[in-house]
Every structure is written in structure tokens, then in C-alpha cells.
Amino acid sequence: MYPASFEYHSPTTVKDALGLMGKLGDDAKLLAGGHSLIPMMKLRLAQPKHLIDLRNVPGLKGVKEDGGTIVIGAMTTWYELETNAIVKAKCPIVSETASIVGDPAVRNLGTIGGGLAHADPAADMPATAIACNFEMVCEGPKGRRTVKVDEWFQGLMSTALKEDEILVEVRVPALAKGTGAAYLKFPHPASRFAIVGVAAVISTDGKGTCSKASIGVTGAGTKAVRAKGVEAGLSGKNLAGAGAIEAAAQKGAEGVDVQADLQGSVEYKAHLCRVFAKRAVEAAAKRAG
Ligand SMILES: Cc1cc2nc3c(=O)[nH]c(=O)nc-3n(C[C@H](O)[C@H](O)[C@H](O)COP(=O)(O)OP(=O)(O)OC[C@H]3O[C@@H](n4cnc5c(N)ncnc54)[C@H](O)[C@@H]3O)c2cc1C
């Protein structure tokens, strides 16, 4: 199906894009990689009268370092994250997550900013964003503000981004020494979206005891959430000890508002949360050493 007709705008600065948003209001939508918005327009689930394309705004794309933080432009594609040397060296779980989003066509056009702004409940990066404590930098008419990931995902496809703001960059703390991270998902066989996906970032004291655990879960409910039960269950535990990871992973669905859908029942998806929590924590702990 073709989308309803719309007017196309191609600003070349964030200021001009914000100006257009202010002028056009609710009738306009930002366009990034288009791999979520255009399918919705084709299905007439979205019918914006104006599209404001961010692809010709320089400065919104690319990766740089700022001390111990990786700064990722919102228009950076999944493929660029998968292959970027800084991301691979400093926070490889972000490359790992990007590398299993959809298929090559999706990864070549889809962007981290689009993915985090769209907040699809089955998207991959939200789990990793929670586990890695991303910060989202939003720019609006009154300037910039930073939102911590724990305040970002607010509900089904809803975030802390205000209607007059653009997500301009994502700040990712580099993984500290002695920290390992992994993202694993049970993918939908057609779209590759996560039926359930779990990201784990595990720090150890060098002798196998978990000093810090940060776990994000996607796919199971209406939004990605922090698995606080698993985090608490791992903290201070010797991860080589019999059943330590298994016991903590049993809390994989705690605090997750698990929803039944065409992919599975509440029980099945809660089971996947526990299974993938165990697998992701095991992989992250192994990488932590
Ligand atoms: C066949 C297929 C398979 C897919 N499989 C997966 C998968 O396995 N895992 C996964 O995570 N995703 C998957 N996706 C989604 C894909 O990753 C999208 O690219 C992504 O969700 C949205 O990014 P985008 O750049 O395409 O955004 P767009 O579609 O351009 O925009 C999405 C929404 O975000 C808004 N927006 C975009 N950029 C900004 C910004 N900088 N500031 C504020 N608002 C903004 C837009 O206005 C729009 O509302 C799949 C998509 C398709 C079509």
C-alpha cells in the first residue's frame, strides 16, 4: 500500500529542523532511516502531512570519544555501530546488538536515534541501553537536556522525548576493566525482532565475585525494563558458585509487565526471560573473566 501524500522537507541544520517542527506542529514527523515510520505510513497507521528528513543534517552522524564516554550521533546506522572501531573496542555489546537487528537492508538504513525514539517494545537496542546506562541528549527550542535511560522508556512506543525535541546524540559509558557484557535474543523468525532479548553487563572483583550487575529486558512487555531482581540476585555472589547465576536468572521476569501476543503466552514469554537472562549473564560473566 502507498502512504498518504505528504510534503517533504530537508533541513541542513538542527536549528532549521526545530524551526520546521515549531511551524508545522503535530502535522509533521521526523524521518531518520524510515524503517519504522515508512512501514507505518504504508499501513496508514501514521499519516503525517509533512516529513522532516534528518539525513542532510551534518553533525548528527558518527561516533567520537569524550573521556570515558562514547558519543554516538542519533543518525548513526546499525551497520556503522556494528563496524565502528571505537564502539567495538570500548563497548562491544553495542556493536553486538546492532549486528543482529533485522537484516542488512534494515541495518544499513535504520538509526540508533530512530530506534530509541520509536521505542518499539520488541526492539533490541533498548535492552542494551538499559544495561549500559545510556544517556539520551535531546535538543529543543530552549536548548539541550540529557535524559538517563531509566527515565527514557515510558510505555508502549512512548519515551521522555518531548514533541518539540530532536534526539541528537546518545552517550554510552565505556565498559570498565573487569566488566563483560552480552546481548542475546530469541528472534522472530521473519522480522528478527526480539520475542525476548536480554542484555547483561557484569563487573567482577577479579576473583569471580560479581561487584555490579546491570540487566535490561526487551520484547516481553510494552517497554524495555531493568531486571532489578536479577541484578540484586547477582550482586556480591561468586558467579562460579553452583547455581548462583541460575538462581538469579529465575527472577528474569520479575518487574516485567509480560504481555501475551501472537508470538506467545505470558507463561512462555516469562520462561524466555529467565532462559535468556541466564544465557546473557553467563556470557557476560565469561567475558568479564
Ligand atoms: C523488516 C524489518 C525488520 C526489523 N527488525 C528489527 C530487529 O530485529 N530489531 C530492531 O531493534 N529493530 C528492527 N527493525 C526496526 C529498525 O531497526 C528501525 O530502523 C528502527 O526501529 C527505527 O529507526 P529508523 O532510523 O528507521 O527510524 P524512522 O523509521 O525514520 O523513525 C522512527 C520514529 O522515530 C522518530 N525519530 C527518528 N529519528 C529521530 C530523532 N533523531 N529524534 C526524534 N525522533 C526521531 C520518527 O519521527 C519516527 O516516529 C526492523 C524493521 C524492519 C522494516
Q: What CATH number is attached to the domain comprising 39?
A: 3.30.43.10
Q: Is 150 helix (H, G, I), strand (E, B) or coil?
A: helix
What's the average model confidence in pLDDT over 53-76?
Answer: 97
The alpha carbon of residue 55 and the mean position of all alpha carbons in its chain are separated, in whole angstroms, by 20
Number of helical (H) and strand (E) elements in the chain, helices listed first: 12, 14
Contact 269, 259 (CB under 8 A): yes
Q: Distance from the CA of 116 to the center of ligand 1, in angstroms? A: 8
Are 84 and 49 within one domain? no
Q: What is the pLDDT of residue 3?
A: 93
Are 265 and 244 within one domain? yes
Q: What is the pLDDT of residue 140?
A: 98
Q: What is the pLDDT of residue 242?
A: 74
**58 in any annotated domain:** no
Say which CATH number the domain at 206 has: 3.30.390.50
Q: Which helix (H) or strand (E) holds 7?
A: strand 7-9
CA-based nearest residue to 280, from 204, 232, 220, 214: 214
Average pLDDT, the chain: 96
What's the average model confidence in pLDDT over 240-265?
Answer: 92
Are 183 and 166 within one domain? no
CA dist., res. 192 & res. 212, Å (int): 30
**2 in any annotated domain:** no
* 94-108 pLDDT tens trace: 999 999 999 999 999
Structural domains counted in the chain: 3
pLDDT(1) > 90? no
**1 in any annotated domain:** no
Q: Measuring from atom 48 of ligand 1, which residue has the nearest CA?
A: 37
Beta strand pairing call for 50-53 and 143-148: unpaired
* 263-278 pLDDT tens trace: 899 999 999 999 999 9
What's the average model confidence in pLDDT over 68-77?
Answer: 98
**Which residue range(s) make up the domain with 98?**
63-173
* 148-205 pLDDT tens trace: 999 999 999 999 999 999 999 999 999 999 999 999 999 999 999 999 999 999 999 9
The alpha carbon of residue 40 and the mean position of all alpha carbons in its chain are separated, in whole angstroms, by 20
Ligand 1 atom nearest residue 77's Cα: 25
Lining ligand 1 with CB less than 6 A are: 29-37, 39, 54, 74, 101-102, 106, 110-111, 113-115, 117-118, 120, 123-125, 161, 166-167, 191-193
Confidence of residue 289 (pLDDT cuts 50, 70, 90): confident
Q: Distance from the CA of 239 to the center of ligand 1, in angstroms? A: 36
Q: Distance from the CA of 133 to the center of ligand 1, in angstroms? A: 20
Q: Measuring from atom 21 of ligand 1, which residue has the nearest CA?
A: 115
Collect all residues with Cβ–Cβ distance below 8 Å to 57 and sequence separation of at least 6: 11, 12, 13, 14, 17, 75
Q: Which of 127, 150, 173 is the last residue of a domain?
A: 173
**138 in any annotated domain:** yes
Percent of the chain with pLDDT over 70: 100
Residue spans of alpha helices (H) in 62-218: 78-83, 85-90, 92-99, 104-109, 112-118, 125-132, 149-152
CA dist., res. 173 & res. 70, Å (int): 6
Confidence of residue 241 (pLDDT cuts 50, 70, 90): confident
Are 192 and 284 within one domain? yes
Contact 229, 254 (CB under 8 A): yes
Are 150 and 188 within one domain? no
Q: What is the pLDDT of residue 244?
A: 92
CA dist., res. 276 & res. 11, Å (int): 42
Of 36, 47, 112, the residue with max ligand 1 atoms within 8 A of its CB, to mutate for a pocket test, comes to 36
Of 14, 24, 31, 37, the residue with max ligand 1 atoms within 8 A of its CB, to mutate for a pocket test, comes to 37
Confidence of residue 240 (pLDDT cuts 50, 70, 90): confident
pLDDT(206) > 90? no
Are 107 and 209 within one domain? no
Would you state the cell numbers that stand for residue 215, as one nine-digit string? Answer: 540487566
CA dist., res. 266 & res. 272, Å (int): 10
C-alpha dihedral (246, 252, 254, 257), degrees to nearest 10: -160
Are 164 and 184 within one domain? no
Q: Which of 150, 173, 196 is the last residue of a domain?
A: 173
Q: Which of 141, 173, 205 is the last residue of a domain?
A: 173
Are 165 and 184 within one domain? no
Are 32 and 84 within one domain? no
Are 106 and 164 within one domain? yes
Are 164 and 112 within one domain? yes
